[in-house]
Structure 1
Amino acid sequence: MAEITAALVKELRERTGEGMMDCKKALTKAGGDIEKAIDDMRASGAIKAAKKAGNVAAEGAIALKEDGKSAVLLEVNSQTDFLALQDDFKAFVAASVEKAFADKLEVAQLIEAQEAARLVLVGKVGENVNIRRLARVEGDVVGGYLHGNKIGVAVVLKGGTVELAKDIAMHVAATNPEFLLPSEVSAEAVEREKGVFLTLNADKIAGKPENIVENMVKGRISKFLAEASLVEQAFVKNPEIKVGELAKKAGAEIVSFTYFKVGDGIEKPVDNFAEEVAAQLAAAKQ
Structure 2
Amino acid sequence: MAEVTAALVKALREQTGAGMMDCKRALDETNGDIEQAVDLLRKKGLSAAAKKSGRVAAEGLVGIASAPQIAAMIEVNSETDFVARNESFQSFVEAVTQVALAVGDNLDTIRAAAMPGTGHTVADEMTHLIATIGENMSLRRAKVLRVKSGVVATYMHSALRPGLGKIGVLAAIEAPSESEALELLGRQVGMHIAAARPAALDIDAVDPAALERERAVLMEQARASGKPDAIIEKMVEGRVRKYYEEVVLLEQVWVHDGESRVRVVVKKAGGELAGFERFQLGEGIDKPAEA
| TM-score normalised by the chain length of structure 2 | 0.67
After TM superposition, give the deviation of residue 102 of structure 1 in Å: 4.4
Distance in 2, Cα, partners of 1:198 & 1:105: 39
Contact kept? 1:233, 1:243, Cα under 8 Å: yes
After TM superposition, give the deviation of residue 215 of structure 1 in Å: 2.5
Corresponding residue number in structure 2 for 1:110:
110
Higher helix proportion (structure 1 or 2)? 1
Distance in 2, Cα, partners of 1:118 & 1:231: 38
**2:142 corresponds to 1:134:** yes
Corresponding residue number in structure 2 for 1:119:
127
Corresponding residue number in structure 1 for 2:290:
271
After TM superposition, give the deviation of residue 143 of structure 1 in Å: 0.6
Go from structure 1 to structure 2 and tell me whether the alpha carbon gap of 1:116 and 1:186 turns closer, same or farther (over 3 Å shift). Answer: closer
After TM superposition, give the deviation of residue 219 of structure 1 in Å: 1.5
1:82 aligned counterpart, secondary structure? helix
Q: Quick one: which amino acid aligns to residue 73 of structure 2?
A: L
Corresponding residue number in structure 2 for 1:261:
280
Q: Quick one: which amino acid aligns to residue 143 of structure 2?
A: A
Distance in 2, Cα, partners of 1:60 & 1:109: 21
Greater Cα radius of gyration, structure 1 or 2: 1
After TM superposition, give the deviation of residue 201 of structure 1 in Å: 4.3
Q: Quick one: which amino acid aligns to residue 168 of structure 1?
A: V
Contact kept? 1:182, 1:226, Cα under 8 Å: no
Contact kept? 2:223, 2:232, Cα under 8 Å: no
2:95 aligned counterpart, secondary structure? helix
After TM superposition, give the deviation of residue 96 of structure 1 in Å: 1.7
Contact kept? 2:105, 2:143, Cα under 8 Å: no
Distance in 1, Cα, partners of 2:78 & 2:240: 40
**2:201 corresponds to 1:193:** no
**2:166 corresponds to 1:166:** no
- 1:223-247 deviation per Cα after TM superposition (whole angstroms, max 9, x unaligned): 0111111000011111111111110
Corresponding residue number in structure 1 for 2:246:
227
Distance in 1, Cα, partners of 2:90 & 2:219: 49
| TM-score normalised by the chain length of structure 1 | 0.68
2:258 aligned counterpart, secondary structure? strand
Report percent identity of matched pairs: 35
Out of 136, 141, 157, the residue aligned to residue 147 of structure 1 is 157
Contact kept? 2:59, 2:282, Cα under 8 Å: yes
1:235 aligned counterpart, secondary structure? coil
In the alignment, structure 1 segments of 5+ residues that lack a partner are 1-56, 273-286
Contact kept? 1:68, 1:162, Cα under 8 Å: no
After TM superposition, give the deviation of residue 60 of structure 1 in Å: 0.9
RMSD: 2.2
Distance in 1, Cα, partners of 2:104 & 2:273: 24
Go from structure 1 to structure 2 and tell me whether the alpha carbon gap of 1:245 and 1:105 turns closer, same or farther (over 3 Å shift). Answer: closer
Q: Quick one: which amino acid aligns to residue 138 of structure 1?
A: R
After TM superposition, give the deviation of residue 257 of structure 1 in Å: 0.8
Structure 1 moving runs of 4+ over 4 Å = 102-106
After TM superposition, give the deviation of residue 187 of structure 1 in Å: 4.9
Q: Quick one: which amino acid aligns to residue 155 of structure 1?
A: A
In the alignment, structure 2 segments of 5+ residues that lack a partner are 1-56, 113-120, 159-164
After TM superposition, give the deviation of residue 105 of structure 1 in Å: 7.2
Go from structure 1 to structure 2 and tell me whether the alpha carbon gap of 1:197 and 1:78 turns closer, same or farther (over 3 Å shift). Answer: same
Aligned length: 214
Q: Quick one: which amino acid aligns to residue 277 of structure 2?
A: T
